[in-house]
Amino acid sequence: MEYLTHSLIDQAEAIQIIQKLKAEKSSWQDGKKTAGSHAAKIKSNFQLDKSSNLSIELKDLIINKIISNPLLKSFTLPSLVHGVMFTRSLAGHGYGTHIDNPYMPSGRSDLSFTLFLNEPEEYKGGELCIQTINKTEEIKLSAGEMIIYPSTQLHSVAEVKDGERHVCVGWIQSYVQSNEHRNFLFGLDAGAKGLLSKHGRSDELDLIFQAYSNLLRSLGD
């Protein structure tokens, strides 16, 4: 499984978002409302009402951060960032093993992301657990850091034992649906940009960029 961790927002921005979330008292809903019939049985958290003014404000901020970040754009090739929501998990809350719906009312889920909004020492438990063939990756990042991973993976959120866990989650519909093809393109793009930075433009590098662009045309939707 290929995944990417990256700092999306700085600590000051994360603190500001947390302050706004904690000040919002009336727009939190039971997370089961947005879960399917199976997932609702294993999901326990609170989610900010997507139609609230605060949710819309913060959602737009996060989407703009993602689509304007060169590394994230290269890794995800985003055609649509969607379903963005803000969640709050207290002691006893968690989310059992599940897989994200391939098609949602907001779009197709090729990639899933979790943006951690408060520091890991502020709560016990609450790791994002992503299953691979041989092991389970347990992810708990610093405030402002995010992980983007294939929506094809089974995953869960470990039970919060103490404190509060605040995250932003969402999905990305990519121009390239195949995880394998996206990874090929990401490596090619990174290598070409590295050569450009070290040695400058060349006729040979133009051919690499041409190959990348035409592969993207061929492999994309």
Q: What is the pLDDT of residue 139?
A: 97
DSSP assignment letter at 25: -
Asked if pLDDT for residue 151 goes beyond 80, the answer is yes
- Classified as helix, coil or strand, 50 is coil
Q: Could you report the per-residue pLDDT of 68-94, keeping only the tens digit for each?
A: 999 999 999 999 999 999 999 999 999
The model's confidence at residue 34, banded by pLDDT at 50, 70 and 90, is confident
> What's the pLDDT score for residue 90?
97
134 burial (CB, 10 Å; 0-12 / 13-18 / 19+) is exposed
| Per-residue pLDDT at 200 | 95
Mean pLDDT of the chain: 95
Question: What pLDDT, on the 0 to 100 scale, is given for residue 57?
Answer: 97
The two tokens of residue 155 are 């995953």
What pLDDT shows up at residue 37? 67
Residue with tokens 């290929």: 2
The pLDDT of residue 36 is above 90? no
Higher pLDDT, 221 or 97: 97
Please name the residues in contact with 217: beta carbons below 8 A apart, sequence gap of 6 or more. Answer: none
pLDDT of the residue at 117: 98
Query: What confidence tens digit (pLDDT) does each residue in 37-63 have?
Result: 677 789 999 999 999 999 999 999 999
pLDDT digits (tens, 9 = 90+) for 154-197: 999 999 999 999 999 999 999 999 999 999 999 999 999 999 99
Q: d(Cα 60, Cα 11) in Å, to the nearest integer?
A: 18
